[in-house]
Amino acid sequence: MKKSFILLALFLAGICTHIHAQQKDSTVINKDSVERAIDEFLSLLDSVNAPKSYFYFGAGIGNQQFSLRNIALNAQQSAASLNLMPEIGYQHKSGLGILYNNFLSLEGSSSEIIQHTITPTYDYTKGKNINFGFSYTRYFGRKENSKYTTPYQNDFFSYIRYVKGNYRPSLSMGFANGSFKEVFKSPLIQKPDTLSIKVSDFSLIPSLQREFAWKGFGKKDYIMFYPAFLMLFASNRYTVNTSQRLLMRRPRLAQRLRNDLSSNNSFGLQSLGINADLYWYVNKFYLNPQVYFDYYTKSSSNNFNVYYAVRTGFMF
């Protein structure tokens, strides 16, 4: 199917070139060389899709800070701060992989490492019709609340995708939880209180993705482009507990404070989004810009947000 499409495009382009050339000379298009060029390009794509083991290292820059793979968590960010994200990983041909990331904040007058992650993964990509995968990300770093860090420590993510044809429906599922402490001043008490806060999030994301593949600018490069439309269904839980001894002796006052600060969002549609993912591979070098446009449906203001990242590196 891909070959027929490419042949048709090159054939039409060849006709225009041939007509233009006839006005100057009698150059004849070599159809065999065109066929060989197409075969080389398709074989290059097949070799890329073939299972192989490799290390990779690189860095990215962007404003995604809640999750490496789960877009539903990134859509909850209250601030879009700029981060530098060095990474190193290993991908085995069996589908197993592991990735280590740092998040280096570029906000403010000085930069600092605000958290780092370890992510074991598994991706099954050998299916003719169905592929699937799952991952677990463990976050390490600051425990106090900050708009520059994620409140989650554990991030589970899985997906299943229909891959036959150019249009690829998929379903992703994620669960994340974590805890942190925060100093809080309330008019109900005289002294500041240290709050223990637990957060959890469950998400379900149906999406439809389109695949595009192009030969690059040289003999050993190619470009892949994956635009997708997503619907983000999620439920969120935000539970607050106080550590004030005074409130422990006054349970009604403690309950009132917890009720005022805690919140629960029932499962439902939270966002509509468009994600655009582009990969450019040049031999062992890769460049991966990604942008996600999110429309939050549960707010009357500040509904529209944009999250992006640009990653680059080498595979060996």
Residues 125-160 have pLDDT tens digits of 989 999 999 999 998 876 655 666 778 899 999 999
Can you give the pTM of this predicted structure? 0.76
Domain span(s) for CATH 2.40.160.40 in the chain: 53-174+197-241+261-315
Select 53-174+197-241+261-315's CATH number: 3.20.20.150, 2.40.160.40, 3.40.50.1000, 3.30.60.50: 2.40.160.40
Position 290 confidence tier, pLDDT thresholds 50, 70, 90: very high
The predicted structure's pLDDT at residue 242:
67
Q: What is the mean pLDDT of the chain?
A: 78
Positive or negative, the CA dihedral 173, 177, 183, 187 is positive
Q: What would the mean pLDDT of 95-117 be, rounded to a whole number?
A: 81
With 0-12 / 13-18 / 19 or more C-beta atoms within 10 angstroms meaning exposed / middle / buried, residue 156 is middle
Letter for the amino acid at 159?
Answer: Y
β-bridge partners, 134:
122, 158
Q: What would the mean pLDDT of 242-255 be, rounded to a whole number?
A: 55
pLDDT in tens, 41-62: 555 555 555 678 999 999 999 8
